[in-house]
Amino acid sequence: MRLLHTADWHIGRRLHGFNLAEEQLNAFKQIERIAIDEQVDGIIIAGDLYDRSLPSEQSVGLFNRMLKKLNLADHFPIYAIAGNHDSATRLSIGSDWFKDTNLYIHTQVSQCFQPVELADAQLFLLPFFEPFEVRQYFNDESIQHVDEAFAAIVEQIKKQFVSDKKHILISHFFVAGSATTESETKLTVGGLSAVPEQLLADFDYVALGHLHGKDAIKAPNIQYSGSPVKFSLSEANQKKRGFRCGYQSDRTAPIFLNYHHCAMLSS
């Protein structure tokens, strides 16, 4: 199985007043080309599909065309989650029938406990959340901070693990020890913004969004794909790259292959 891991498309983003729609469309075409050439089994978008919770009509139109091309024309399954820039309510419109075309856009914490079941893997799609949402879901007033909320979620997710399948988590958070740039909105909730890396140890692959650098964290099973387009001067020297994770049923560990997918945008 091959999955193309992307994140942080930020459709509608402007850089110092300059409209990045053309650059974003160019990056999308490269992502589509890679998906076709590599014959991937699905495309991950790990949050921040849009740049703001109230995207413009032009931004919605552009993103809809992108999804239509990948999902309806190219027939790629899409596994997407809401990020901190997205409106969960707006993204969830139509989700009841999206899955009929293998288009999954998860916007609520409760959805992460219903994994997408593939032949040899389980995908857990965990959107960005505030701790109060998790506190309400578990009816547990002791959950006050992000790390406490994440620990409760992971414990519940692990109860859904099927032993002979790989377990993939798609999420949108800041993992402790990661490197940031000035274009990423800091997630500071209750005085604690980071998710401890050890909470992710039981997943075979963690496909993260939020940080725009592909090398934001060094961990064997945790990856940020990085954004496909540069969104700030602090990202000027970054080389944008997507990750493909491949699994073979006769292996006990996942195989990670990486490659540059936005070389044209590196200048």
Q: Give the span between the Cα atoms of 211 and 74, in whole angstroms.
A: 28
Q: Give the span between the Cα atoms of 111 and 82, in whole angstroms.
A: 12
CB 169 within 8 A of CB 158: no
Give the N- to C-terminal CA distance of the chain in Å, as an integer.
33
How far is CA 224 from its chain centroid? 8
Sequence ranges of the domains in the chain: 2-265
Q: With 90 as the cut, is the pLDDT of residue 232 above it? A: no
How many CA atoms does the CB half-sphere of 8 hold within 13 Å?
24
Q: What is the mean pLDDT of residues 172-196?
A: 61
pLDDT tens, residue by residue, 38-86? 999 999 999 999 989 999 999 999 999 999 999 999 999 999 999 998 8
Among residues 105, 104, 97, 95, the alpha carbon closest in space to that of 48 is found at: 105
Among residues 48, 63, 102, the alpha carbon closest in space to that of 225 is found at: 48
State the DSSP code for 219: B
Give the model's confidence band at 179: pLDDT under 50 very low, under 70 low, under 90 confident, else very high. low
Q: What is the mean pLDDT of residues 85-95?
A: 83
Among residues 10, 66, 45, the alpha carbon closest in space to that of 172 is found at: 45
pLDDT, position 237:
53
* H runs (alpha helix) in 38-83: 57-67
pTM of the model: 0.83
Range in 4-13, 16-25, 192-201, 247-256 the model is least confident about: 247-256
Pick among 3.30.750.24, 3.40.1190.20, 3.60.21.10, 3.50.50.60: CATH of 2-265:
3.60.21.10
Q: With 70 as the cut, is the pLDDT of residue 128 above it? A: yes
